[in-house]
Amino acid sequence: MIKLKFRYLLFLLLPLSCSTEKINLSPVGDNLSQTNGKTLKYSLDQRKNLIFYSSEITNLIASFPKLGNDAVNKEVLNLKSCLKDYIGAMEESNKNALEDSQKRYEKSNKKLQNLRKYLNKQDDDVLNRYLVRIKTSMTLLNSNISPDQQTAQ
């Protein structure tokens, strides 16, 4: 009889305990929502453009071919890393990381422009095509999500 009452009591407490919302008291969650730099808010149109142009850039990163020069391939890997960081900073709305990755991207792009002279004509054309498409997408991304449209939180 006592076992039966105990089972009913557990049976009643189970739905009640599952229906309460979990409160996160962890300081880790608070730290993730706060950044050292200013954070940015995007409107719906800006968010759509962010998704469209960042997906264009990530598709270009994923399909980037291997070229005939090892130094160029190493710098392409560096460029890919910079672009991934840039997209991540844009999605996280982290202004400091965005500026840092933008500088690294520009430096890597300049280095690739200098290394192009060591490629054959066909590889140079392929690299140029990818760099132009990436630069165009970056420009469109930055123009559609300009600093004057962004508001600090």
Domain range list for the chain:
42-146
pLDDT for 79: 94
Q: Is the pLDDT of residue 10 over 80?
A: no
pLDDT for 149: 44
Q: Is the pLDDT of residue 33 over 60?
A: no
Tokens 């453009």 identify what position? 49
pLDDT for 148: 47
* Burial class (CB within 10 angstroms; exposed 0-12, middle 13-18, buried 19+) of 129: exposed
Residue type, 55: S
pLDDT for 31: 41
Q: How far, in Å, CA of 57 to CA of 112, rounded?
A: 17
Token readout for 120 is 């054959």
Q: How far, in Å, CA of 59 to CA of 148, rounded?
A: 28
How does pLDDT run across 47-89, given as a tens digit for each residue?
888 888 888 999 999 999 999 889 999 999 999 999 999 988 8
Q: Which of 14-28, 29-43, 88-102, 134-148 has the highest mean pLDDT?
A: 88-102
Average pLDDT over residues 32-48: 62
pTM score of the predicted model: 0.67
How does pLDDT run across 14-29, given as a tens digit for each residue?
665 555 555 544 444 4
pLDDT for 35: 45
The count of residues in the chain is: 153
Q: Is the pLDDT of residue 107 over 90?
A: yes
Contacts of 98 (CB under 8 A, 6+ apart): 86, 89, 90
Q: Is the pLDDT of residue 13 over 80?
A: no
Average pLDDT over residues 35-53: 71
Fold category of 42-146 in CATH: de novo design (two linked rop proteins) (1.20.1440)
